[in-house]
Amino acid sequence: MLHLDIWGPLSVPSVHGHKYFLTIVDDHSRFLWIILLKSKAEVANHVKSFITMIQNQFQVTPKFIRSDNGPEFMLSEFYASLGMLHQKSCVETPQQNARVERKHQYILNVGRALLFQSKLPSSYWSYAILHAVFLINRITTPILQNQSPFQVLYNKLPDISSFKVFGCLCYASSLQVHRTKLHPRARKSIFLSYKSGYKGFTLLDMHSRDIFISRHVIFHEHILPYPSNPDSITSQWEYFPSPHTTPHSPSSDVVHVPPLIIDAPPFESSHNNNNNTPSPILPVPTSSQP
């Protein structure tokens, strides 16, 4: 049995113009699939393509399709041609399609947390949702006897070595055809998601704002470089403690950043500092005379 539902529309379209997403849940493994949509008119074609993918990849045809009364799911001839039964919930009775409705709440909770932590704009919600589903499919759950949906569906453990922090700083090797001997060898970027069908990562270039895919990437997962103010993408990162806070003791949990990755903008000079705060690197010398 497959549970289907559409979430949306969202008032803020994604960076690629998506306003909805189609959620598909496998009843046995609880595995999730997410398909981003620009309009509900795309649902019928995506459902047909998804069923074909299931038949080809898993050599099985779903017996039941459960959804609400949305007209986009009314594909009676298609279901009948494959011998599938379409189960529909009653009007204003979402609890009859509760399996996928609860998944929507779970996905949105994780997606919001990823956006808040990374400080990315709301228009990147589609990447946060995709990353949330990637994590949910690989997290163990007591419903499956402490197995993950990925493990139940594919009968193998997921590879967690590829897990990266959403929105973290990374450097992607630049293409040789686009550079000279004096050009940078890497592009300062932000990690967005994993790209299905690629052995690479989807990244956001911090200078050009281009979204691209790269395989040769070095991650600094303890740094979330996107600023709170979107108009200043080169704002200073928190490499050092704020001068307004009490310095940590040597036993404190302090993250030491390797010097090779420090490229934050220089600190302002004292005559431009309205608060006359000291530099966080070098202490202000004090005189012993009164």
d(CA 151, CA 235): 42
Q: Quick one: pLDDT band at residue 91, thresholds 50, 70, 90?
A: confident
Q: Which of 33, 37, 27 is nearest to 50 (CA)?
A: 33
pLDDT tens per residue, range 98-140: 999 999 999 999 999 999 999 999 999 999 999 999 999 999 9
Mean pLDDT for the stretch of residues 143-155: 95
Asked whether the predicted pLDDT for residue 249 surpasses 50, the reply is no
Assigned token pair, 290: 């009164």
Instruction: List, in order of start, the domains of the chain with CATH numbers.
Output: 2-157 (3.30.420.10), 167-267 (no CATH)
Length of the chain: 290
Asked whether the predicted pLDDT for residue 238 surpasses 80, the reply is no
**Torsion angle in degrees (nearest 10) through CA of 90, 93, 98, 101:** 110
Order of strands across the sheet that contains 169-173: 211-214, 201-205, 186-194, 169-173, 217-220
- pTM to 2 decimal places: 0.75
DSSP percent split of the chain into helix, strand, coil, nearest 5: 30, 20, 50
Exposure b/e, 122-142, CB count within 10 A at least 16 = b: ebbbbbbbbbbbbebbbeeee
d(CA 136, CA 122): 21
* Distance set, CA 129 to CA 50, 181, 284 (Å): 19, 39, 47
d(CA 84, CA 51): 11
